[in-house]
Amino acid sequence: MPQRLVSFDIDGTLEIGDPPGEVSLDSVRRAINLGYIVGSCSDRPLSVQQRLWAATDIEVHFTVLKQHLLEVRSRFLVDHYLHIGDTPIDRMMALDAGFDFVHVIEDDLDAMLRAHGLR
């Protein structure tokens, strides 16, 4: 079974972001239960990201600043890397780090989540 990694932007992407996004915490939990390596890549400070995840009782594998997404790729050797976000900066950082990118609004998020078994 191929191993996969998914990175989530927070604000505008996750339902707990500010502003809230379209990706539910249930989708994040499902990804973890399916064996994905899961974490966040945000412009929020690491301590804020870590507190946010702790408050949800979701244990993620990584939290990084957007400009460090390439470090995630070097830390985790998997078959597929995906970043889900809502800005052109998210897209740029993802593609520069060799990740596939899904825009939470412009792309068909629901179809992508279903294709990956996350909905």
Within a domain: 90 = no
Average pLDDT, the chain: 93
| Total domains present in the chain | 1
What integer pLDDT is reported at residue 103 of this predicted model? 92
Within a domain: 89 = no
* pTM summary value: 0.92
Within a domain: 91 = no
Within a domain: 34 = yes
Q: How confident is the model at residue 116 (pLDDT cuts 50, 70, 90)?
A: confident
What integer pLDDT is reported at residue 66 of this predicted model? 92
Beta bridge partners of 82: 6, 100
CATH number, domain at 42?
3.40.50.1000
Q: Range of 21's domain? A: 4-84+96-115
pLDDT digits (tens, 9 = 90+) for 57-84: 999 999 999 999 999 999 999 999 999 9
CA dist 25 and 92 (Å) reads 25
Q: Does position 26 have pLDDT exceeding 90, yes or no? A: yes
Closest CA to 58 of 31, 86, 83, 78: 31
